[in-house]
Structure 1
Amino acid sequence: MPVIDVTTDTDNLTLTITAQFAAPVERVWEIYADPRQLEKIWGPPTYPATFVEHDFTPGGRATYYMTSPEGDKFGGWWEFLAVDPTSSFTFRDGFADADLNPDDSMPVGENHYAFSAADGGTRAVYTATFNSADDLQKVLDMGVVEGSSSAINQIDELLAA
C-alpha cells in the first residue's frame, strides 16, 4: 500500500497524506498530467472519475465527476495555481453541481502535491488546507481520509500496468 502516513492538523487546518511509490518521479507525475491516467486513480475504486476538462497549467481548470456504483454523479473542480513539472502543483479543489459549476455551499481546499525521489522511487506528499475548522471537519466526516487513501493506493496498479 503506497499510503504510509495520514496526519490531520486542526490547528493549521490541514490534512496531509504521504505515499511512497516504486516508480520514478517522472512516471508518477505523468498520472496527474494525463487526464486519462488520472481518471484511473482519482476517486475511490468504486467511484471512477471522468475528467471533462484538464488544463494542467497555472490559471487552468479541471472539471470532473465521479460515478457511484448506483450511477449517481458527483462533480468537482480544480483551479491550478502553480505547476512545477515533475516536482509539485498547487490547486484549489472544490465540489461541483450537476453542471460542473462550483458548489459554493461546500468546502474548498487548497491542495499542494509534492513529489521527490526517495528510497529508489517517489515520495508524494499531498497536503490540503482548509479555510476553517468546520470545513476541515466537514470533509473528514464525508470520508476524505478513506476515499483519498483508497484512491492513492490504486496508483501502484496503474504503475505496474
Structure 2
Amino acid sequence: MNNLLFDFTVDKAAKTVFIAREFDAELSLVWDAFTKQEILDQWWAPKPFASKTKSMDFKVGGRRFYAMVNPEGQEMWAIQKYTSITPQTNFKYLNAFADKDENIQLPGSDWDLTFTEQNGITKVSIIIYNDSLERMEKMIEMGFKEGFTMTLNSLEELLKN
C-alpha cells in the first residue's frame, strides 16, 4: 500500500471542489500527462469510458475539445479553454460541456491545477470553482468524485509503466 496523498473536499458554500493527489513520478512526467493529447487520452476518463480528443492547442487562449465515450460508443463532449499557463507549475482553464459541434453549454467550471515536486513525488492540487451551485451539486450527484478518483488512479497506473 502506498502512502501517497489523496484528498477530495467539497465546499458547497464556496461552490468549490478541492482535490490534492500525489504521484510517485517526476513533475515533468505528470505535467506531460495533463498537457499532452496523446497521454491525456490514455487516462482522462473513468473506466469503462474512454477519452477521445478531437483537437487540442495547449496555449493561453487555446483549447481542448474532447469526448468521454462509453462502451456503446455514445459521446459526451466537453471543452477546456486555457486561460493561464505557467510551464511545469500551473495551468487554468474553463471547462464546459458541449455538443459535437462545439457549442458550449454554460455555466461551466473554472479549473486551477498546481504542480509541485518533492523527493520524486509530484503533487497535483486542483481547485474547481463553479459559478453555479446547482451545476456543482449535479456534478457531484453524477458521481464526479468516484469517476475522477478512478481517472486519477488510471493516471497512477500509467505512470508506473
The verdict on a shared fold, with TM-score over 0.5 as the criterion, is yes
Deviation at 1:94, TM superposition (A): 0.6
Paired position in structure 1 for 2:45: 43
Q: Percent identical across equivalent pairs?
A: 27
1:57 counterpart residue number: 59
Query: Partner of 1:150 in structure 2?
Result: 150
What displacement does 1:24 show?
A: 0.9
Which residue does 1:108 correspond to in 2?
108
TM normalised by structure 2 equals 0.93
Structure 2 Cα separation of the partners of residues 54 and 131 of structure 1: 25
Look up the match of 1:121. 121
Q: Which runs of no fewer than 5 residues in structure 2 stay unpaired?
A: none
How many Å apart are 1:3 and its aligned residue?
A: 6.2
The number of aligned residues is 159
Q: Which runs of 5+ in 1 are unaligned?
A: none
TM-score, structure 1 as length reference:
0.93
Between the aligned partners of 1:39 and 1:72, the Cα distance in structure 2 is 16
**Superposed CA offset, 1:87-121 (max 9, x none):** 110000010113232123xx400000111013531
User: d(CA) in 2 for partners of 1:27 and 1:154?
Assistant: 14
Contact 1:96 1:103 in 2 (8 A): yes
Distance in 2 between residues matched to 1:69 and 1:113, nearest whole Å: 29
Does structure 1 residue 76 correspond to structure 2 residue 78? yes
Contact 1:25–1:116, Cα closer than 8 Å, also in 2? yes
1:118-155 per-residue CA deviation (whole Å, 9 max, x = no partner) reads 35310111111000221211111111111111111111
Moved over 2 A (4+): 98-101
